[in-house]
Amino acid sequence: MSSSSIRRCQVCQACWIGPQLFWSTGQRGSNLDLAGLVCNTGYGGGLRCANPAKGHPGGDTWEQREAWIRGTTLPGDVGREPLAA
Protein backbone atom coordinates (compact mmCIF):
# COMPACT_ATOMS: atom_id res chain seq x y z
CA MET A 1 0.00 0.00 0.00
CA SER A 2 1.48 3.35 -0.96
CA SER A 3 1.47 6.26 1.46
CA SER A 4 -1.03 8.08 -0.76
CA SER A 5 -3.59 5.26 -0.94
CA ILE A 6 -6.99 5.79 0.66
CA ARG A 7 -9.44 3.08 1.66
CA ARG A 8 -12.63 3.12 3.71
CA CYS A 9 -14.35 0.37 5.68
CA GLN A 10 -17.88 -0.12 4.39
CA VAL A 11 -18.96 -1.38 7.85
CA CYS A 12 -17.79 1.32 10.29
CA GLN A 13 -16.71 4.09 7.86
CA ALA A 14 -13.19 4.23 9.30
CA CYS A 15 -10.65 5.46 6.75
CA TRP A 16 -7.01 4.64 6.17
CA ILE A 17 -4.78 7.16 4.44
CA GLY A 18 -1.71 5.10 3.77
CA PRO A 19 -1.17 3.10 6.96
CA GLN A 20 -2.82 5.68 9.28
CA LEU A 21 -6.34 4.93 10.53
CA PHE A 22 -8.82 7.76 10.96
CA TRP A 23 -12.08 7.09 12.82
CA SER A 24 -15.29 8.12 11.05
CA THR A 25 -15.08 11.29 13.22
CA GLY A 26 -11.78 12.25 11.56
CA GLN A 27 -9.65 11.56 14.65
CA ARG A 28 -6.45 9.52 14.25
CA GLY A 29 -6.83 6.04 15.66
CA SER A 30 -5.23 2.69 16.27
CA ASN A 31 -6.01 -0.41 14.23
CA LEU A 32 -5.94 -2.50 17.44
CA ASP A 33 -8.35 -0.15 19.26
CA LEU A 34 -10.72 -0.28 16.30
CA ALA A 35 -10.46 -4.07 16.33
CA GLY A 36 -11.18 -4.27 20.07
CA LEU A 37 -14.10 -1.85 19.95
CA VAL A 38 -15.74 -2.79 16.64
CA CYS A 39 -14.11 -5.34 14.35
CA ASN A 40 -13.75 -8.19 16.86
CA THR A 41 -17.31 -7.76 18.16
CA GLY A 42 -20.64 -8.79 16.68
CA TYR A 43 -20.76 -5.41 14.91
CA GLY A 44 -17.55 -6.07 12.98
CA GLY A 45 -19.12 -6.91 9.64
CA GLY A 46 -17.38 -10.23 9.11
CA LEU A 47 -15.60 -10.49 5.77
CA ARG A 48 -16.51 -6.92 4.79
CA CYS A 49 -14.26 -5.49 7.56
CA ALA A 50 -11.29 -3.56 6.14
CA ASN A 51 -9.19 -3.42 9.33
CA PRO A 52 -5.89 -5.30 8.94
CA ALA A 53 -5.90 -5.87 12.74
CA LYS A 54 -9.28 -7.67 12.75
CA GLY A 55 -8.96 -10.83 14.82
CA HIS A 56 -5.79 -9.69 16.60
CA PRO A 57 -5.93 -9.41 20.40
CA GLY A 58 -5.12 -6.14 22.13
CA GLY A 59 -6.28 -2.59 21.88
CA ASP A 60 -9.11 -0.92 23.74
CA THR A 61 -12.37 -2.74 24.53
CA TRP A 62 -15.79 -1.64 25.75
CA GLU A 63 -15.17 -3.45 29.05
CA GLN A 64 -12.00 -1.41 29.60
CA ARG A 65 -13.78 1.83 28.75
CA GLU A 66 -16.59 0.97 31.19
CA ALA A 67 -14.00 0.38 33.94
CA TRP A 68 -12.47 3.80 33.21
CA ILE A 69 -15.89 5.50 33.32
CA ARG A 70 -16.75 3.75 36.61
CA GLY A 71 -13.44 4.95 38.06
CA THR A 72 -11.79 1.58 38.52
CA THR A 73 -9.00 2.55 36.12
CA LEU A 74 -7.34 5.88 35.37
CA PRO A 75 -7.43 7.63 31.99
CA GLY A 76 -4.52 6.31 29.98
CA ASP A 77 -4.55 3.05 31.95
CA VAL A 78 -7.13 1.46 29.68
CA GLY A 79 -5.89 -2.03 28.98
CA ARG A 80 -4.06 -2.33 32.30
CA GLU A 81 -5.17 -3.97 35.52
CA PRO A 82 -8.01 -2.18 37.41
CA LEU A 83 -7.23 -0.17 40.54
CA ALA A 84 -7.57 -2.02 43.85
CA ALA A 85 -10.82 -1.24 45.68
Q: Which of 73, 78, 71 is nearest to 32 (CA)?
A: 78
**Residue of 27, 61, 29, 28 lying closest to 44 (CA atoms):** 61
What are the pLDDT digits (tens) for 1-23? 455 799 999 888 899 999 999 98
pLDDT of residue 73: 65
pLDDT digits (tens, 9 = 90+) for 36-61: 988 888 877 677 888 999 999 888 88
pLDDT above 90 for 76: no
pLDDT at 67: 83
Q: Is the dihedral of CA 50, 15, 35, 40 positive or negative?
A: negative
pTM: 0.71
Which residues, 6 or more positions from 50, have their beta carbon under 8 angstroms from its beta carbon? 7, 8, 9, 10, 11, 14, 16
Torsion of CA 19, 54, 44, 30, to 10 degrees: -40
Mean model confidence pLDDT for the chain: 81
